[in-house]
Each structure stands twice: as structure tokens, then as C-alpha cells.
Amino acid sequence: MKKLQLLLLVAFTVGFTAQAQYKLPQLNYSYADLEPYIDSTTMYIHYNNHHAAYTNNLNAALSKYPELFKKDLVEIFRHFEEIPADIQTAVRNNGGGYYYHVLFWELLTPSSKSKMTPVVEKALIANFGSIDSFKTEFEKAAATRFGSGWAWLIKDAGGKLKIVSTPNQDNPLMSFAEAKGKPVLAIDVWEHAYYLKYQSKRVDYTKAFWHVVNWQKVEELLK
Ligand code: MN
């Protein structure tokens, strides 16, 4: 009887945990669809190796405290200090990495579909004066992020659009972020995102990025 109870408990725990694990999202395009701006090999490795590693490492960290699988990742970021100290670094790096790659894939689209919408255009002009000054400021944030990290367009609590950058896998939703806000657009400036094609020319990669931005998604995030 005891054996059966133990077996049921194990089955329940494994079943519950398995159901709640984070998974790689489905991409809305194939690895080659962002060519020639983002090459197929980079996309393949970025998704299958880097994003997969963040996903596995996040699951491993949260498995120590399975109740955390029930919490929304954004809520975890917003109340970061509340999660157990022994998994904070792992969740900061891999939770950040998991969440923002999911978003990054959605913010990309084949160049044939990349067209700025009137709503986004109006919002960018209202906040930055012109599309050119928005792009220049965003490219500057991407270029000047020392080492690995991300550049962001965020919407702050007052509804104002701002350009910021964060190191490593930190993001503007995390409780300790210098500039907080809701991500609207993001570019990954880790070398793994561009080095195969652009080598040290991060600026060229950032300029190529404009050809494959999913402006429909940006409009959705602006709301
Ligand atoms: Mn990346």
C-alpha cells in the first residue's frame, strides 16, 4: 500500500512538473526567411542552442521550487526579490533569456512583410520627432551597450516611449531595472545574434534589423 501511495505521489509530481515546464515557442517563419538580413545558420543556432539552453536552465532552476511554475514570469521579474536567493541568478539570466527570446522572435518577420504601420509611425514621431531620429537613437543604444545585452523601445508608466539598454539578459520589467517600462521593440546585441554574418560590425547588423521588424507586433505592444 505504501509503495502504491509513493508511486502515485511520484506520478503526480512528475506529471504536474512536466505539464508546467517552459517550452520553446513555435516560430512563425523558417530559419531562412529572414535572409539576407539575419542568416539561416544564425537563426538555427540562436533558436536551437541558445534559446533552448535558456529554456532548459530555467526549467532546472524552477524545478527546485515547482510552485514557481504557476507564477507568471513577468510577475517573477516584477517581484524579483521574493524568489528564493539560491535561484535568483539562474532565473535572472535564464528567465530573462527565455522570455525575451520568445518576444524577439515575434518582433521579427520576413522583409516582405515588414512594413511600419501608421499607428506606430505616429507614436514614434510624437515621441522622437521623426522616424530617423528614433532609428538613430535606437541604433546608438544598441551600439553603445558594452559587452552583451539588449536595446529596447519601452513604454513607461506615463505612456511615454523611451529607448534604453540592459546588460546580459536583464530587461526593463525586472524590479531592479534602471529604467522600467513595457517592452515594445527589442534587439538582441549578444555576439551570438550576429557574429557569424557581421563579425564585429554590430552597427551593420542593427541597420539590417530594420528590414525584418514585425511592426504589427510593435503596434500590438504599444497598446
Ligand atoms: Mn540571443
Cα(136)–Cα(155) distance, integer angstroms = 18
Residue 149: how many other CB atoms lie within 10 Å: 20
| Model pLDDT, residue 170 | 86
Ligand 1 centroid – CA 161 distance (Å): 24
- Segment holding 99, helix H or strand E: helix 96-106
- pLDDT digits over 167-198, tens only? 888 888 888 888 899 999 999 999 999 999 99
Ligand 1 centroid – CA 4 distance (Å): 45
Ligand 1 centroid – CA 171 distance (Å): 13
| Model pLDDT, residue 178 | 85
| Model pLDDT, residue 3 | 57
| Model pLDDT, residue 146 | 82
Ligand 1 centroid – CA 13 distance (Å): 32
Instruction: Give the residue ranges of the chain where pLDDT is below 70.
Output: 1-19
Ligand 1 centroid – CA 212 distance (Å): 16
Ligand 1 centroid – CA 50 distance (Å): 6
Ligand 1 centroid – CA 192 distance (Å): 6
Ligand 1 centroid – CA 223 distance (Å): 26
Ligand 1 centroid – CA 190 distance (Å): 6
| Model pLDDT, residue 17 | 47
- pLDDT digits over 34-66, tens only? 999 999 999 999 999 999 999 999 999 999 999
| Model pLDDT, residue 139 | 96
| Model pLDDT, residue 9 | 53
Domains of the chain (ranges, CATH numbers): 111-222 (3.55.40.20)
Ligand 1 centroid – CA 126 distance (Å): 30
Ligand 1 centroid – CA 97 distance (Å): 7
Specify whether the CB–CB gap between 92 and 203 falls below 8 A. Answer: no
| Model pLDDT, residue 204 | 95
Residue 28 neighbours by CB under 8 Å, 6+ apart: 105, 106, 109
DSSP-assigned letter for residue 27: P
